[in-house]
A and B are shown apart, each in its own frame.
Chain A
Amino acid sequence: MRRSSDTMRLLVPVLSLAALLAGVFYLQPRAMSYTGLNLLFNLAVPIALATVAQMLIMAVNDLDLSMGTFVSFVACVTATFLNDTPLLGIAILAASIAVYAILGVVIYLRNLPAIVVTLGMSFVWGGLAVLILPSPGGEAPAWARAIMTVKPPFAPVAIFASVLIAVVAHMIVMRSSLGVLIRALGGNAKTVERSGTSILKIRALAYGLAGLFAVLAGVALVGLATSADANIALRYTLLSIAGVILGGGEFIGGRVSPIGAVIGALTLTLAGSFLSFLHISPDWQIGAQGAILIVVLALRLLLNRLESRGATR
């Protein structure tokens, strides 16, 4: 029974991605090629990584409003320190992951609202990013560029990367004992505490992992964009939240789906391309994206209804 409900949870994201993809192929048959697919999904890779990071935070019932500025900060570090003095760059990124882990602990210890703490942190990351790169610039490390532009056989790198992210995130969150504990913490923190597990440790690891995925998102973004800017990823905060929800995740209760989150990120990216193929006036591009979001969620409600009807029968 549980398995079927998890499958249903994934059905909507998969269907909406397929429908959008069909729409894009119908409007622009040339997109149905190696290069076409690569162009369509290229930018989805960093968004998918940021979405997985946001999902880890949401799994413990928190919300990270600093995701966008943090990814921008990482992008700035990647395009400067990580490129010029790799060791220092790695140290900075490791320290920023440690900051995430500490935040996870402090929020719990002092019983702070995660929304406000991450809101405050978003100013801090944004400020650091501006200090590192006051104007757009920097250069992507050659290896990051190489990874993001590699041309594997059969399918473009964006597809392989998305599948890899989904599988790794699935293994960590759904299959490892840490993942079970993280989701359990979101479900019922008291039970986890009584079972003798340290909540502090789980929260530190969940936040640390989120920081790691967000760092990867920043590096991947710079690998694609070749240079960085302090505002490069501000949209990622809302995109990552929307991606998790589109993918079947929920705000509370530790109910998340890593595969769904990656698909949600792909869907959001594809929605942008779909709209430009539709020749919608630029004025209404953003609005149409909102409309797509609503349609997908309506679809999810419909399928949930069908499911519950099937259950009672």
Chain B
Amino acid sequence: MNALNRLLSRPWLWSFAAALAVWIATVAVTAGASSGGLTDAALTFAAFSVFVGIGQMFVITLGPGNVDLSVPANMTLAGTVALKLMDTQDSMILPGILVTLLVGLCIGLANYALIKALRIPPIIATLSTSFIIQSAAIWTNRGLRIKPPPVLADFATSSTFFVPNMALLALLVSVLAWVLLNHTIFGRWIAAIGQSMPAARMAGVPVDGTRLATYVLCAILAAVNGFLLSCFSGGAALNMGNEYLLMSIAVVVIGGSAVAGGDSNVPGIWGASLLMFLIVSMLNTYQFEAGYRLIMTGLIIIAVILVASGRQARPR
């Protein structure tokens, strides 16, 4: 009984339950014909949301007002620059990955430099940099669509042991993020800052260093996601990051992390990412019009949040 209660109080449970319900509802309509394909697609697309979601989760955990709006522009720039550098050659993959990480590193540094030096609220700071990054992406992209190197394209679209590679990669990152968050001093610092920055400072937490590292981490994950997404979809496009702005925030919150910061969880990100993808494919299967599809998506997000909030007995 105690174990059941403990399970039920897990904040990530609801997103998984909702995702499973939607999966069943979708597969039921197609009489099971598409269950394999649907699961594959769900895992792959959820993986992309997981990358940005985890980055955003670290940032949101830092406390009220912390959010990274430069994620979509960052993805576009990293994807564009990396594919341009690799120029479809397999031998250039390593430099491509390095330049992706470099783009993320620079953007993260720039974001935190603005937040710290100008004391701008993070939302506005990352919004401003996202404008500049977006322009840089437009400038480098020039409307060209360069294909990814064949080896990378293969890797991004295939599976190992029936699990899509993208999902395996995202799982690896999730495990690392979970360890980082729950079993290292760095993770404890992030949570401490999110709960109270003055208290964390007095307790001797290196507040600035931790926040800097967090913003850099988020930017690098977003850059990697841009890189992988452009390999997966056969090239970088200027608008490819757009939907990931709201997605990255939505999966964090639906997954059960506290919006006010200081309390986060990694498994919920997976549940929420799967849910978000499955909702869209369910509504597609039911052949709803675009308008109704959007309305249903919105109502389901609100419903999940309403149900999930019932469990919060206001800790602390």
Complex alpha-carbon distance, A111 and B2, angstroms: 27
Shortest CB–CB separation between residue A3 and chain B, in angstroms?
23
Shortest CB–CB separation between residue A177 and chain B, in angstroms?
28
Given known contacts A116-B253, A119-B246, A131-B292, is B135 in contact with A287 (CB within 8 Å)? yes
Interface centre among B306, B310, B314 (most CB of A within 10 A): B306
A115 engages B259 (CB within 8 Å): yes
Complex alpha-carbon distance, A72 and B242, angstroms: 18
Q: Which stretch in B117-125, B144-152, B213-221 binds the other chain? A: B117-125
Shortest CB–CB separation between residue A9 and chain B, in angstroms?
15
Complex alpha-carbon distance, A126 and B246, angstroms: 14
Q: Is B301 an interface residue (CB 8 A)?
A: yes
B298 engages A123 (CB within 8 Å): yes
Residues from chain A with a CB closer than 8 A to the CB of B294 are 123-124, 126-127, 130
When C-beta atoms are compared, the residue in chain B nearest to A291 turns out to be B132
Interface 0/1 of B279-314, CB less than 8 Å to A: 000000000011111111111111001100110101
A287 engages B253 (CB within 8 Å): no
Residues from chain A with a CB closer than 8 A to the CB of B309 are 110-112
B114, B123, B131, B249: the one within 8 Å of A287 (CB): B131
B292 engages A289 (CB within 8 Å): no
A112, A122, A123, A294: the one within 8 Å of B114 (CB): A294
A110 engages B306 (CB within 8 Å): yes
B259 engages A113 (CB within 8 Å): yes
Given known contacts A116-B253, A119-B249, is B298 in contact with A124 (CB within 8 Å)? yes
Residues from chain B with a CB closer than 8 A to the CB of A291 are 128, 131-132
Q: Is A241 an interface residue (CB 8 A)?
A: yes
| CB neighbors of B among A181-202 (8 A) | none
Residues from chain B with a CB closer than 8 A to the CB of A303 are none
Residues from chain A with a CB closer than 8 A to the CB of B291 are 127-131, 134
Q: Is A150 an interface residue (CB 8 A)?
A: no
When C-beta atoms are compared, the residue in chain A nearest to B139 turns out to be A283
A293 engages B299 (CB within 8 Å): no
Shortest CB–CB separation between residue B64 and chain A, in angstroms?
6
Q: Is A159 an interface residue (CB 8 A)?
A: no
Complex alpha-carbon distance, A111 and B313, angstroms: 10
Residues from chain B with a CB closer than 8 A to the CB of A110 are 306, 309-310
B132 engages A297 (CB within 8 Å): no
Residues from chain B with a CB closer than 8 A to the CB of A137 are none
Q: Is A29 an interface residue (CB 8 A)?
A: no
| Dominant SS among interface residues on chain B | helix
A242 engages B124 (CB within 8 Å): yes
Residues from chain B with a CB closer than 8 A to the CB of A112 are 305-306, 309
Given known contacts A245-B124, A251-B65, is B306 in contact with A116 (CB within 8 Å)? no
B305 engages A117 (CB within 8 Å): yes
Given known contacts A291-B132, A294-B118, is B123 in contact with A127 (CB within 8 Å)? no
A-side interface size class: 35 or more
Q: Is B240 an interface residue (CB 8 A)?
A: no
A111, A123, A286: the one within 8 Å of B135 (CB): A286
A116 engages B250 (CB within 8 Å): yes
A123 engages B301 (CB within 8 Å): yes
Shortest CB–CB separation between residue A116 and chain B, in angstroms?
4
A120 engages B301 (CB within 8 Å): yes
Residues from chain A with a CB closer than 8 A to the CB of B15 are none
Complex alpha-carbon distance, A297 and B121, angstroms: 10
Residues from chain B with a CB closer than 8 A to the CB of A123 are 294-295, 297-298, 301
Q: Is A90 an interface residue (CB 8 A)?
A: no
A115, A289, A294: the one within 8 Å of B249 (CB): A115
When C-beta atoms are compared, the residue in chain A nearest to B131 turns out to be A290
Q: Is B129 an interface residue (CB 8 A)?
A: yes
Interface 0/1 of A75-113, CB less than 8 Å to B: 000000000000000000000000000000000001111
A124, A238, A251, A289: the one within 8 Å of B295 (CB): A124
Q: Is B43 an interface residue (CB 8 A)?
A: no
B292 engages A290 (CB within 8 Å): no
Q: Is B99 an interface residue (CB 8 A)?
A: no
Complex alpha-carbon distance, A112 and B306, angstroms: 7
Residues from chain A with a CB closer than 8 A to the CB of B260 are 113
Q: Is A15 an interface residue (CB 8 A)?
A: no
A116 engages B295 (CB within 8 Å): no
When C-beta atoms are compared, the residue in chain B nearest to A241 turns out to be B123
B114, B302, B312: the one within 8 Å of A117 (CB): B302
What are 25 A-B contacts with C-beta separation under 8 Å?
A: A65-B246, A111-B309, A111-B312, A112-B305, A112-B306, A115-B253, A115-B259, A117-B302, A117-B305, A122-B298, A123-B301, A124-B294, A124-B295, A127-B294, A127-B297, A131-B291, A241-B123, A251-B64, A286-B135, A287-B133, A287-B134, A288-B135, A289-B131, A293-B131, A294-B114
8 more A-B residue pairs beyond the given contacts A116-B249, A130-B294, with a C-beta to C-beta distance below 8 A:
A111-B312, A115-B259, A116-B305, A117-B305, A120-B298, A130-B290, A283-B135, A283-B139
